[in-house]
Every structure is written in structure tokens, then in C-alpha cells.
Amino acid sequence: MRMIRYAFFWMIAAGLAAVITGLQLKPEPPGNIYYQDQAAVLLYHDIRTEVPPGAAGSSTISTAQLREHLKMLGDRGFRIVTMDEFAGFMLQGKKLPANAVVLTFDDGYESFYREAAPILQEFHATASNFIVGASSDIFHPEAEPHLSWEQMNRLKAQGMGFYSHTYNLHRMLPSGPSGALQPALTARILMTQAVRNESEDQHRLRIYSDIAFMEKRLRQELGSQRRLLAFPYGAYDDAVLEEGGRAGIELFFTIEEGLNTAGTRIVKRINAGEPYMTADALWEHLQSFFAKKQ
């Protein structure tokens, strides 16, 4: 009886060992590595449940589109990382998983809270929004609703991030002798009473004040966090980088497209937020930035 019991025990043990060995020998699921030690930062703007037909160029996507994008990214083996992980990679050379993707939205629309956040949570993904401080501080009855600080705090507790898109320089202002409109961050604005453009010093003081004030407002409302700035209209020059740096900005987000490698403060972003950008179109677009290894 005892012999039989021992034999039975060893059969079970051998069986278990075989199972464990089998598990260990089982190859890793075939994960495609498209890129490593790099990150793709995707750029979105507005999102609605329905995007009206013919809305091309509106920089608005539908909720169904975002869901398809997130599903495609997961299915294809992309890894969505947080803004803090991305900043750690860019500034401190910390490791990121292969195929790392960062999600960013610009302009701080309330639709980020109502439409985007629930879908992001469904996919356990986090995203950041670059907000215009004045649009959240000052209510404009005609403007599309912007995020309130309360909504931002709620989303921040769920892992979302909110950073600077300037306090009040998301505007076009008259510049040059003809008074042609140019982005407020880079333009030497036309001072109509003096009938000349602002001087270099006046310009630098104006943009430094805006950027520094926005950092103060972000800290007052949201607590301590990274100092990140996305340029309105993607416009920047050396003066903007210097004054931004003086205001403590760590990373500058552009609309130049490409993958990011650590060691620079200038971040490229890939535009994903257009009505025509189906999941297939985004996959095609992403592939254009890395060599196909399939």
C-alpha cells in the first residue's frame, strides 16, 4: 500500500515537473520589436462622439476612432507609457519598454474629460493634455468648453497629466510693418501706439512672464509636477527655448514628426488626431518612422 502511495506521489511530482519545464521552455509570444530606446509621442486635439462628415482638417477625432487606435496599438504590441516614464527616459536615460508610445492631447478641451478619459481608462492607458491656462481660468461663453481645474485634479488622480500650452499665448498677433498675423510666442508683435515691433528684450520678457506664470498656475492648482511646454502652432525659436529654459521648462513639445531618442529637450510628436486617421492609417503612418521588421 505504502509503495503504491509513493509511486503515485512520484508520478504526480514528475508530471508537475514536466508541466513546469514545459512552461519554461515555451517560447515568448511573438512580440514584434519595431524600435527600442526610442518613443513615439502621439498628438491629438479634440474628440467627439460624432465627427461631422467633411470635417477634414478639424483636428477632431471620434470616440470610436480613439477606441480603434488604442485597440490597434495594443494588438500590434505597442506599449503606452506615462509622461513621467517618458520624461525619465528623455532627461535621465531611464529604460522604456520596446515600442513605447506616449499619448498627448493639446488645447485642454473639456471633451478630454467627458469623452477621452473613460475610453483611456477602459484600455488602462494614461494621456497628458497641454492646456492654455487662460482658457481654464476665464470662462468664454462662445468658446468650446475647456477643462476646469477640478476636472484636471480628478483626472490627475487617475494618472493623467496636465502641462503648459502657455498661459495666454495661443493666439495670433499682428507683427512686422504689414501687421501680418503670427504666433504670439515667436512674433515680435506690432505695438500699434509706438508704430514699431516690440524690442527683443520686450519680446523675451513677455514670453518669459507668460511661461513662468503658467507654471505657477499649474502648481497652484495641481501641485508639484514636471515642467513641460507644448508650443502653440508648433512655433518656436532660440529665444523661446532660452526663456522657457529660464522658467524651468524641462521638455519642449513640438509638432515636428518622428521618434524620440533620449538626450534632447525637444520632443517630436506624430499627428494622430485627424478625422481621416483610421487605425489602419495610423499604423501605416507609424511604420513610416521605423524600418519594417516583420
How distant, in Å, are the alpha carbons of 55, 134, 182, 272, 277 from that of 50? Answer: 10, 28, 32, 17, 14
Query: Judging by DSSP bridges, how do beta strands 180-183 and 172-175 pair with one another?
Result: antiparallel
Please say which residue, 48 or 170, places its beta carbon nearer to Zn ion. Answer: 170
Q: Write out the three cell numbers for 218.
A: 499649474
Q: Indicate which single residue of 42, 86, 89, 106 sits in contact with Zn ion (rule: CB under 5 A).
A: 106
For Zn ion, the binding residues in 207-246 under the rule CB under 5 A are 232
Number of residues this chain uses to bind Zn ion (CB under 5 A): 3
Kindly state the DSSP code that residue 114 receives in the 8-state scheme.
I
Closest CA to 236 of 251, 250, 252: 252
Diameter of the chain by CA atoms?
108
Contact window for Zn ion (CB under 5 A) among 16-24, 77-85, 101-109, 110-118: 101-109
Shorter beta-carbon distance to Zn ion: residue 273 or 275: 273
Residue 22's contacts (CB-CB under 8 Å, 6 or more residues apart) are none
* Amino acid letter, residue 240: V
106 vs 215 by CB, closer to Zn ion: 106
**Which position among 85, 107, 115, 210 is part of the footprint of Zn ion (CB under 5 A)?**
107
Host H or E run for residue 293: none
Between 59 and 278, CB nearer to Zn ion:
59
Interaction of residue 46 with Zn ion, rule CB under 5 A: no
| Pattern 61-100, Zn ion, x by CB under 5 A | ----------------------------------------
Q: Which is nearer to Zn ion, 107 or 243 (CB)?
A: 107
Q: Which residues of this chain interact with Zn ion, rule CB under 5 A? A: 106-107, 232
